[in-house]
Chain A
Amino acid sequence: MEIIKGIGVSPGVVICPAVVLDAEDLVIPRRGIEASAVDAEVARLHDGLAKAQADLEVLRNDLAASHGKDIASIFDFHAGLLKDKALIGQIVAEIKSHRSNAEFAVSVAMRKLAGTFLQMKDSYLADRVKDIHDIEKRVLRTLIGGKHEGLTRLDHNVVVIAHDLLPSQTAALDKKHVKGFACDVGGRTSHTAIVARAMGIPAVVGLGNLTGAVSGGDLVIIDGTRGVVIVNPDPDQLREHEEYVRQHIKLEAELAGLADLPAQTTDGHAVSLMANIEFPAEVDDALAKGAAGVGLYRTEFLYMASETEPTEEDHYVAYVDAARRCKGRPLVIRTLDLGADKYAYGKGPVKEANPFLGDRSIRMCLHNLPMFKNQLRAILRASTEGDVRIMFPMITTIMELRQARMVLNDVMEELEDEGIPFRKDLPIGMMVEVPSAALMANNFAREVNFFSIGTNDLIQYTLAVDRTNEKVAGLFTPAHPAVLALIRDVIRAANRNGISVSVCGEMAGEPLYTLLLLGLGLNIFSMNGPDVPEVKKIIRSTTTEHARQVARKVLSFDSERQVMHYLREETRKIIPEAF
Chain B
Amino acid sequence: MTAVTREVTIANTLGLHARPAMQFVDLANQFKSSVTVHKDGPAAVTVDGKSVMHMITLEAIQGTPLRIEAEGDDAEHAVEQLAKLVEDKFGEEE
Contacts and interface: CB of A to CB of B under 8 A. Distances in A.
Q: Decide whether A and B assemble into one complex.
A: yes
B51 A86 contact: yes
A81 B25 CA distance: 10
A73 interface: yes
B54 interface: yes
B50 interface: yes
Interface string B1-39: 000000000000011011101100110000000000000
Contacts of B17: 124-125, 128
B6 to A, nearest CB: 22
Contacts of B50: 85
Nearest to B51: A86
Interface stretch (B55-63, B68-76, B80-88): B55-63
A76 B24 CA distance: 12
Contacts of B57: 113, 116-117
Interface of A is mostly: helix
B53 A113 contact: yes
B30 to A, nearest CB: 14
Nearest to A76: B22
Interface in A81-97: 81, 84-87
B90 to A, nearest CB: 12
A86 B53 CA distance: 7
Nearest to A83: B52
A219 B58 CA distance: 48
B59 A125 contact: yes
Contacts of A113: 53, 57
A125 B56 contact: yes
A288 to B, nearest CB: 62
Contact of B26 (A80, A116, A125): A80
A60 to B, nearest CB: 13
A128 B18 CA distance: 8
A131 interface: yes
A122 B56 CA distance: 12
B27 to A, nearest CB: 12
**Most chain A CB inside 10 Å of its own CB: which residue of B14, B17, B22, B25:** B22
Nearest to B57: A116
A539 B21 CA distance: 75
A567 to B, nearest CB: 60
Given A80-B26, A81-B53, A131 B18 contact: yes
Contacts of B15: 122, 124-125
Given A116-B57, A122-B59, A124-B14, A84 B19 contact: no
Nearest to A126: B59
B87 to A, nearest CB: 21
Interface in A121-148: 121-122, 124-125, 128, 131
Nearest to A119: B59
Interface string A169-192: 000000000000000000000000
Interface in A284-320: none
Contacts of B22: 76-77, 80
Taking residues whose C-beta sits less than 8 angstroms from the other chain, chain B's interface range is 10 to 19
A120 interface: yes
**Most chain A CB inside 10 Å of its own CB: which residue of B26, B56, B57:** B56
A76 B23 CA distance: 9
Nearest to A86: B51
Contact of A81 (B19, B48, B52, B61): B52
B34 to A, nearest CB: 12
Contact of B61 (A86, A117, A125): A125
Contacts of B54: 86
A280 B57 CA distance: 58
Contact of A120 (B14, B51, B53, B59): B59
Interface in A174-220: none
A80 to B, nearest CB: 4
Interface in A27-81: 73-74, 76-77, 80-81
A86 B59 contact: no
A113 B51 CA distance: 13
B28 to A, nearest CB: 11
**Most chain B CB inside 10 Å of its own CB: which residue of A74, A80, A85, A117:** A80
Contacts of A81: 52-53
Contacts of B21: 77, 80
B15 to A, nearest CB: 6
B48 A121 contact: no
A552 B17 CA distance: 74
A228 B38 CA distance: 56
Contacts of A84: 51-53
Contacts of A74: 18-19
Contacts of B52: 77, 80-81, 84
A265 B91 CA distance: 90
A131 B19 CA distance: 12
A87 B18 contact: no
A239 B29 CA distance: 61
Contacts of A125: 15, 17, 56, 59, 61
B25 A121 contact: no
Given A116-B57, A125-B61, A87 B51 contact: yes
For the complex of A and B, the 4 pairs showing the least CB-CB separation, nearest first, are A86-B51, A77-B18, A80-B52, A87-B53
11 contacts: A73-B19, A80-B21, A80-B22, A81-B53, A85-B50, A117-B57, A122-B15, A122-B59, A124-B14, A125-B56, A128-B56
Given A86-B51, A113-B57, 7 more contacts: A81-B53, A86-B48, A116-B57, A121-B59, A124-B15, A125-B17, A125-B59
Interface of A: 73-74, 76-77, 80-81, 84-87, 113, 116-117, 120-122, 124-125, 128, 131
